Amino acid sequence: MDKEQQKKRIDELREKVEYHAKKYYDEDKPEITDFEYDMLMVELRNLEKENPEFISNESLTQKVGGNVKEGFEKVTHEVPLQSLQDIFSLEEIDEFDERIHKKAEENGIKEVKYVVETKIDGLSAAIEYKQGKLVRGATRGNGLVGEDITQNLKTIKTIPLEINDKIDITVRGEVFISKDDFKKMNQEREENEEELFANARNAAAGSLRQLDSKITATRPLDIYIFNVQKIVGKEYNSHFEELEYLHNLGFNVNPVRIECKTIKEIKNAIEKIGEMREKLTYGIDGAVIKVDNLKFREILGTTAKTPRWAIAYKYPPEQKETTVKDIICQVGRTGVITPMAILEPVKVAGSTISKTTLHNEDFIKEKEIKIGDKVIIQKAGDVIPEVVRVVKEKRTGEEKEFEIPRICPVCGAEAIREEGEAAIRCTGIECPAKLFRNLVHFVSREAMNIDGLGENIIGQLLERELIHNIADIYTLEFEDIASLKKNGKKFAQNLIDSINKSKENDLYRLITALGIRHVGGKASKILAKKYKTIDNLANASYDELSEINDIGEVMANSIREFFLQDQTIDLIKKLKEAGVNTETIIEEETDNRFEGKTFVLTGSLEKYTRKEAEDIIEKFGGKTSGTVSKKTNYVLAGEEAGSKLTKAQNLGVTIISEKEFEDIIS
């Protein structure tokens, strides 16, 4: 390339790495693998090295990626939280060692020691203690300014609120989620129809950067401390000794730290960490080599972005070639049909891989995967096997195209892909794959409210084949229920009473219980009020439904498709035969004092749950919304009201207290 072409390529690379760094650091939603990002950075760094006249201070080779998220207070780091220079070959370790020894000779330092540690794949944070008590914590941000996440860090059980010495100290650590916890999180998110986390690092980062610390508290975050940023009143000359001191203070210190005196020992340590990588409970993306002598570190100094006394060796992802023997479809609890590649078994990163998810229809088309293809696979984030690419040059012409079926492979119901979604879903309400989840929803408090019929009991009923569909709840015998528990007669009677009571529920509860996609409790009440019977609703046209306020086209389409299914028709028939009410029985509310008014609730109310307050507002003809806008009429603010209250004040929206709300409804 000539100079003009090199300049053009540098500009292209800067734009790419800026985009992907924003996705990675700021949005916690990466679109490419860490390795792909690293290779872009390597190419950019090499081109800038060859063309120093094109180097810019704004290039990510010269500064730390990451910005402060809106909603967090800014924290200026007293000691910058720098990133590390990444290397990808053992030869680069030799160059690093030669450079360090040359500097040592220049300064009369006779012995150079190193510490090799695991490079934990998480989110870096600085934690400040005054007189031994935690006072503040912050993310790395751009290295100079981070986000105040003190309350979120306090939810992590392995971070001590008070340490074993009354000193002023700032430490740096890596917040992460273990491999097992990450798997569980994604399984739960899949069951709850939530977007899956791309990897454990982004799950940890997204969890730690929540504006609501209550959400952070529900996430299985952990931390390993790996550095002292600043300490007052004590002095150490050895990084290794400093880590031991941190351990004695009560910190959860990086457990893998190996002292090395020679380049051979460094390479052995890197090899050892590479071998144990698969067995570690947490994900790593490399090994860090640090100079141990802290005073020597000061002599070596830093660049604007990285310390000169440390480097990070990045392990290349282990990739293997195998064959796609078949593609099958699995149906999850939410009805999502997921294609799975059945592979010729191959060992990758310490474990044998014989199948992997192909995610969805778009993924298969994007990668151009066919049955019979040779493919390259690797483990994403040391956890999930994934197809990297198809080896197209090895195709024989015998490979077969694959299309995800539009008929559920489990129950035979229609499978649909809604506009704007990647997933294809089974629409059958009696589909065995969805049955457990459908039952749990059907009996829930917001739906049919069958007290005593929880997940554990439903699981036992299914396991013993006492129920095979939703309507079977109403045919359960006393003896069957009593057999589920020791001395279970009282439990059985209470559950039978609760089941019988649910038959008298209003129509809106039944509509909610049916679990029609996109139709929640509020929409169910609107539909019950308008159509009066389940049969009227089942016969409503798409045009008629879509014209109803708060229903709209997406919901209307979902309702029509649901009631056209044979399984839906069969279930409603069985429910009627069991004596379940299918008509509106609640008297029409004539007091519409809140008609045309929209409320937003924020904070904690003393006398009402949020659901109870919403029900009262709807009872009087009002609506509730989750967001504040100029169209909002009232914001009902409880204790610890947050950003919604601030926005309401800025927009001039009427704010009422719980007492004022009670006065209005009394």
Q: Which residues are catalytic?
A: 119
* Helix locations, 468-622, DSSP H: 478-482, 489-502, 507-513, 521-531, 534-538, 542-546, 552-564, 566-577, 610-619
Helix (H, G, I), strand (E, B) or coil at 310: strand
C-alpha 609/C-alpha 444 separation (Å) is: 17
Backbone angles phi, psi at 457, to 5 degrees: -65, -40
Asked whether 447 and 554 are in contact (CB, 8 A), the reply is no
Asked whether 401 and 383 are in contact (CB, 8 A), the reply is no
Only one residue has tokens 């150490």, namely 236
First to last CA, the chain: 79
Backbone angles phi, psi at 336, to 5 degrees: -70, 130
Sign of CA dihedral 332, 338, 342, 346: negative
C-alpha 349/C-alpha 317 separation (Å) is: 8
Amino acid at 230: K
Which residues does 499 contact at the CB level (< 8 Å), separation at least 6? Answer: 450, 453, 473, 474, 476
Q: What does DSSP assign to residue 372?
A: T
Which residues does 658 contact at the CB level (< 8 Å), separation at least 6? Answer: 605, 606, 607, 608, 636, 638
Asked whether 665 and 616 are in contact (CB, 8 A), the reply is yes
Asked whether 342 and 324 are in contact (CB, 8 A), the reply is yes
C-alpha 182/C-alpha 180 separation (Å) is: 5
Q: Which of 228, 231, 221, 290 is nearest to 256 (CA)?
A: 290
C-alpha 77/C-alpha 81 separation (Å) is: 7
Sign of CA dihedral 470, 474, 477, 480: positive
Distances (CA, A) of 3 to 41, 47, 468: 19, 10, 72
- The count of C-alpha atoms lying within 13 angstroms of the C-alpha of 10, restricted to the half-sphere facing its C-beta, is 23
Q: What does DSSP assign to residue 22?
A: I
Helix (H, G, I), strand (E, B) or coil at 431: coil
Asked whether 633 and 606 are in contact (CB, 8 A), the reply is no
* Contacts by residues 129-137 (CB-CB < 8 Å, ≥ 24 positions apart): 129/163, 129/167, 129/168, 129/169, 129/170, 129/171, 130/168, 131/166, 131/167, 131/168, 132/162, 132/163, 132/164, 132/165, 132/166, 132/167, 133/161, 133/162, 134/159, 134/160, 134/161, 134/162, 136/75
